[in-house]
């Protein structure tokens, strides 16, 4: 068996804490600065250790975090076998949570890597998208984040009116109509019925809302531009043919899921998106299904929920399917919504996968 150096890396903004060993040896602790220079020095020192030990393989792992995949890219460029692990899938005891240190975290990751190398245990890895997908994902995520900010601002305006006992006129209709917005602008102006403090607060909320709406328009254009790229054009056209699915939802699905062919079945799609029920079975107690796991991509789940309600309102087939599921359990309509979300996710996966394969074939023929 070839000699292998195994590394568990605990990543922080300023430091990297590494546990490193060969085979069953006691791991050594190494620290370096989490900077371009610090990591460069560590790769150089690691190469010297590999040469001295006569190792043929280097395997390292670290947990996915807001640090992104930069360390993964560097490790691959240095010729290392690197894995990014899902924090939610690494077992942690209550004692570990109460005595959490950087070295213990690195040791835990090291043991996971050693179990994989020496015993063949499966690694709880996350899928690392290619660089272009990561870049495009930043745009779709920014668009969704700005939409969340707009929703929050509208809620703040409604709360301010309620807090100050100001009711909207019936003539403004329901929801955020043009008449309601015009009335709000009047309340933020000189003819306001609000006191000075609330008047100022409403004015700043409306200015923020206007700025966020401009950002939404700008990002919508950027998302539309991305959707016309060769790698997305075919799948986006196929996905948007489904009622209730727009360009943003299609791009969000494609950038968040990445290569759709990595999913082998609809069950994997449901589990990956956290749309499957949790399970609790022990001893003689039968399998009890609970709430959905909520694991995975909350962004996609939110988009699927919005699309599902649009489909239920506008598509006769979806409306009938929703009614059938509700009839089984009228007191728990959320179950029907989740079921429809899962059905939509599977449908979009099949359509997107087929379009992606056709697109790949077209690109190979073009080459």
Instruction: List pLDDT tens digits, range 47-65.
Output: 999 999 899 999 999 999 9
367 pLDDT band, cuts 50/70/90, is very low
95 pLDDT band, cuts 50/70/90, is confident
Query: Of 85, 119, 153, which one is at a domain's C-terminal end?
Result: 119
180 pLDDT band, cuts 50/70/90, is very high
Query: Of 119, 148, 176, which one is at a domain's C-terminal end?
Result: 119
Predicted pLDDT of residue 365: 42
1 pLDDT band, cuts 50/70/90, is low
In a domain, 270, yes or no: yes
Identify which has the larger pLDDT, 226 or 280. 226
Query: Of 88, 119, 150, which one is at a domain's C-terminal end?
Result: 119
In a domain, 318, yes or no: yes
Do 221 and 243 lie in one domain? The reply is no
Do 258 and 195 lie in one domain? The reply is no
Q: Which two tokens stand for residue 74?
A: 């560097």
Where b means 16+ CB within 10 Å and e means fewer, 294-303 reads ebbbebbbbb
Using a pLDDT cut of 90, give the percent of the chain over it.
Answer: 72
Do 217 and 240 lie in one domain? The reply is no
pLDDT at 7 exceeding the cut of 90? yes
Do 223 and 236 lie in one domain? The reply is no
165: containing domain? 131-227
Q: Per mean pLDDT, which range of 133-147, 157-171, 188-202 is the poorest?
A: 188-202
Predicted pLDDT of residue 106: 94
Compute the average pLDDT of residues 68-77.
Answer: 94
Q: Which residues make beta-bridge pairs with 85?
A: 63, 125
pLDDT, averaged across the chain:
90
Do 110 and 141 lie in one domain? The reply is no
Compute the average pLDDT of residues 215-222.
Answer: 97
Predicted pLDDT of residue 43: 95
Predicted pLDDT of residue 4: 92
Q: Which CATH number does the domain housing residue 35 bear?
A: 3.30.420.40
In a domain, 274, yes or no: yes
- For the chain, how many structural domains are there in total? 3
CB 303 within 8 A of CB 239: no
Do 83 and 102 lie in one domain? The reply is yes
Predicted pLDDT of residue 92: 77
pTM of the model: 0.87
89 pLDDT band, cuts 50/70/90, is confident
In a domain, 126, yes or no: no
Do 192 and 272 lie in one domain? The reply is no
In a domain, 25, yes or no: yes
Give the SS3 label for residue 325: helix
CA-based torsion, 32, 33, 39, 45: positive or negative: negative
In a domain, 285, yes or no: no
In a domain, 286, yes or no: no
Do 250 and 345 lie in one domain? The reply is yes
Q: Per mean pLDDT, which range of 60-74, 146-160, 182-196, 209-223 is the poorest?
A: 182-196
Do 96 and 176 lie in one domain? The reply is no
317 pLDDT band, cuts 50/70/90, is very high
Using a pLDDT cut of 70, give the percent of the chain over it.
Answer: 96
Locus of tokens 């499966």:
122
Do 215 and 339 lie in one domain? The reply is no
Locus of tokens 């409403």:
202
Locus of tokens 């030990």:
53
Do 139 and 166 lie in one domain? The reply is yes
Predicted pLDDT of residue 44: 95
In a domain, 297, yes or no: yes
CA dist 106 and 61 (Å) reads 9
Do 237 and 350 lie in one domain? The reply is yes
Compute the average pLDDT of residues 144-163.
Answer: 95
């Amino acid at each position: 068996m070839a000699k292998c150096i195994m590394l568990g890396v605990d990543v922080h903004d300023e430091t990297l804490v590494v546990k490193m060993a060969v085979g069953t040896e006691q791991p050594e602790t190494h620290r370096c600065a989490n900077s371009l220079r610090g990591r460069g020095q560590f790769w150089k020192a690691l190469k010297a250790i590999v040469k001295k030990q006569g190792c043929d393989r280097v395997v390292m792992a670290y947990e996915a975090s807001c640090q992104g995949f930069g360390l993964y890219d560097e490790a691959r460029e240095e010729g290392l076998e690197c894995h990014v692990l899902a924090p939610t899938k690494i077992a942690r005891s209550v004692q570990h949570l109460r005595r959490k240190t950087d070295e213990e975290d690195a040791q835990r990751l090291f043991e996971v890597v050693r179990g994989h190398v020496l015993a063949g245990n499966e690694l709880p890895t996350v899928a690392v998208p290619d660089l272009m997908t990561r870049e495009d994902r930043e745009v779709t995520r920014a668009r969704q984040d700005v939409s969340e900010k707009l929703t929050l601002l509208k809620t703040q305006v409604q709360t301010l009116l309620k807090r100050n006992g100001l009711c909207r006129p019936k003539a403004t209709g329901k929801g955020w109509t043009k008449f309601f917005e015009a009335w709000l602008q009047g309340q933020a102006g000189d003819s306001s019925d609000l006191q000075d403090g609330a008047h100022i607060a409403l004015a700043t909320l409306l200015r923020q809302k206007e700025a966020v709406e401009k950002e939404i328009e700008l990002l919508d254009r950027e998302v539309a531009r991305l959707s016309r790229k060769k790698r997305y054009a075919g799948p986006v056209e196929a996905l948007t043919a489904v009622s209730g699915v727009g360009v943003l939802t299609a791009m969000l699905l494609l950038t968040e899921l990445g290569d759709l062919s990595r999913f082998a079945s609809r069950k994997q799609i449901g589990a990956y998106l956290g749309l499957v029920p949790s399970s609790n079975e022990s001893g003689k107690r039968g399998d009890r299904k609970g709430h959905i796991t909520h694991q995975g991509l909350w962004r996609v789940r939110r988009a699927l929920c919005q699309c599902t309600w649009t489909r239920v309102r506008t598509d006769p087939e979806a409306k009938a399917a929703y009614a059938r599921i509700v009839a089984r359990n009228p007191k728990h309509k959320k179950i029907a919504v989740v079921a429809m979300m899962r059905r939509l996710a599977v449908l979009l996966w099949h359509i997107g996968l087929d379009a992606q394969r056709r697109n790949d074939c077209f690109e190979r023929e073009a080459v």
